[in-house]
Amino acid sequence: MSSTPGPDVSVVVPTYNRAGLLRHTLDSLTRQTLPAGRFEVLVVDDGSTDDTTRLVTEYEDRLTLRYFAHPDEGYRVARARNTGITNARGGVCVLVDSGVLLHSGALRAHLDSHAASDRPVAVCGYVFCFNEDNEDGAEIERAIDYADPDSFMAGLRSERRWLDIREEFYEKYGEDFAALPAPWLVWWTCNVSARTEQLRSVGLFDDAYRAWGAEDVDLSYRLHRDGAVFVMNRDACAVHVPHGKSYTENMRSVAANYRYFASKYGTPITSLVDGNHFFAINDIIRERGLPGCAEHLAAERALADGPDGPPRQVLVFSPHQDDEVIACGGTLARRAAEGARVQIVFSTDGSRSHQAVLGIDSDPTPEELAGIRQKEAEAAARALGLGPDGVQFLGFTDTALAEALPEFRARVRAVLEAHPEVEEVFLPHEIRELNADHRLTGEVVLDCLRELGLTPRLRKFVVWDEQTEAEFGFTNRSEPDRAVPGGGERLLSLDIREHLDTKRAALAEHRTQVTLYCPAQDRPVVPDVFAARVRAREVEQFWVPV
């Protein structure tokens, strides 16, 4: 029996207390020339208290529509879009906002742009009537023909009224602007698209953005670094229906986000986002001769090696068996290929992964699972190219590391005392990581390094964030969230393409985590969507001191 093919396009629409605006968007989706069976709509509600839920039900018989509701925890549009992308079944995701009135040919036009290219593309749809301060809002709202938006847009185009705010950019650089050093500056999520798998592989939206603005710029920058070609398609057009907003408040909000973005990546180009008009940044880049993404990734690699070349001795502190591959498998394979002595130190025994995540405690039992996972970790280390002494197991109980803190601290200190010449240490971030075992591992390693006066290059990774929690359906936090440091660190990106197959092979050795290992399982411990991102990601990222 053949399975029913999935849709070509997934339309992701985040919303919050905008039922009236959402209705316009859903109405426009019912008029698409792309056949209804070729697209789905995912509405993600960020905690609305208005009539949104009832409104969505009105369209369930006219659209292939799925509705996801989040609790109201403040401005979380990045998380809302991630929910849509994570659950998307289409090969292409079209991202639109509530109140975006799409032309009937918009989805087909988005899809055409992707079909026309052998390379992944990031499509900028055209948006009429976008006002920064809603200055023409009342006039625009009176003029919109909701019954025939196609004719309305055709009139705007011929009369050159209320054109896309980016028209200045397009007129300056042309519509074929992919060769610009920073084409990602105009990929704004009111009406854009990209391949679903690429959105997932580059890590989706950064949920650290908790106020208006810049979360789309962050993602588009990563799409660019991952090889996406940016294109503009005027046929993928829409009207931005006016709504109340304050330019002053938005600029105040986005200023902090631009600073975060600049410090997160720490490149000469990303630093320009804070304090420069977007439409001038490409000129500034060229005037200053700043390195593009490819050159910057090469520079990152040189920076990771340090002035004396690649490190000769490397320690990796991994909370659980498989975190070492997920977080830094490609970089470790590179270090091993360069001849470094790499040793992975596992904090816990991995005995409770099935019990904690899946509620399974037999066949295998936790005790049996601990032994199996130790052998898997040894096999994964061999796959990465590590020597026979490449792993060490501290053996503390999985999910309960905090209960053995004094002994754990002593064991970590002993490991570091045995490696006084260590030049590079990989460890979980002591704040950005949410899982208790991860965070505690990072904290203790940092404390012991300070106590011993050791100063290796630090590579802090994040495996367990809110998205990971949601996908695993498992939470293990031992203390209230703490504020992420505002300065003193930046994100180091390392290209691992030449070692990606090795990383995938090492991940496959963790069979208890990535396969249906025991008879009672109906899903792997590591969700398929999470594992797919790990296998596809061509860059590994680490927070490093500045």
Per-residue pLDDT of the chain (546 residues; tens, 9 = 90+): 335 578 999 999 999 999 999 999 999 999 999 999 999 999 999 999 999 999 999 999 999 999 999 998 888 899 999 999 999 999 999 999 999 999 999 999 999 999 999 999 999 999 999 877 677 878 999 999 999 999 999 999 999 999 999 999 999 998 889 999 999 999 999 999 999 999 998 889 988 888 878 999 999 999 998 899 999 999 999 999 987 656 567 667 788 889 888 878 778 898 899 889 999 999 999 888 887 777 777 777 777 888 788 899 999 999 999 999 999 999 999 999 999 999 999 999 999 999 988 999 999 999 999 999 999 999 999 999 998 889 999 999 999 999 999 999 999 999 999 999 999 999 999 999 999 999 999 999 999 999 999 999 999 999 998 888 888 888 888 776 665 555 688 888 888 889 999 999 999 999 999 999 999 999 999 998 888 878 877 778 899 987
Phi, psi at residue 21, to the nearest 5°?
A: -70, -40
Predicted confidence at residue 244, as pLDDT, reads 65
Report residue 351 CA to chain centroid gap.
Answer: 29
Predicted pLDDT at 245: 59
What is the rounded end-to-end Cα distance, in angstroms, of the chain?
58
Angle, in degrees to the nearest 10, between helices 366-384 and 323-337: 30
Tell me the CA distances in angstroms from 362 to 19, 225, 321, 352, one per residue in order: 48, 45, 19, 11
Distance separating alpha carbons of residues 321 and 510, to the nearest angstrom: 8
Q: How is residue 328 written in tokens?
A: 């830094």
CB 27 within 8 A of CB 49: no
* Rounded Cα–Cα distance for residues 382 and 329 (Å): 12
Q: Tell me the pairing of strands 100-102 and 229-240.
A: antiparallel
Dist CA 57 CA 63 (whole Å):
10
Q: Which amino acid is at 117?
A: S
Give the residue from 119, 328, 299, 80 showing the smallest Cα distance to 223: 119
Predicted TM-score (pTM) of the model is 0.70
Per-residue pLDDT at 1: 35
- d(C-alpha 42, C-alpha 36), whole Å: 14
Quickly tell me which residue has 């990581």 as its tokens. Answer: 433
Sequence-separated (6 or more) residues with CB below 8 Å from residue 1: none
Name the helix (H) or strand (E) containing 452: helix 436-452
Q: How far apart are CA 19 and CA 25, in angstroms?
A: 10
Taking the C-alpha atoms of residue 446 and residue 430, their distance in angstroms, rounded to an integer, is 8
pLDDT of residue 2: 39
Give the type of residue at 396.
Answer: F
| Burial zone of 248 (CB within 10 Å; 0-12 exposed, 13-18 middle, 19+ buried) | exposed
- Percentages (nearest 5) of helix, strand, coil residues in the chain: 45, 20, 40
- Cis status of the peptide bond prior to 364, with omega within 30 of 0: yes
- The C-alpha atoms of residue 343 and residue 410 are separated, in whole angstroms, by 18
Instruction: Give the list of residues 6+ apart from residue 221 with CB closer than 8 angstroms, or none.
Output: 184, 261, 265, 270
> Residue 395, class by beta-carbon neighbours within 10 Å (0-12 exposed, 13-18 middle, 19+ buried)?
middle
What CA–CA distance (Å, rounded) separates 27 from 21? Answer: 10
d(CA 366, CA 360): 9
> How many residues appear in the chain?
546
Strand pairing of 313-318 and 424-428? parallel
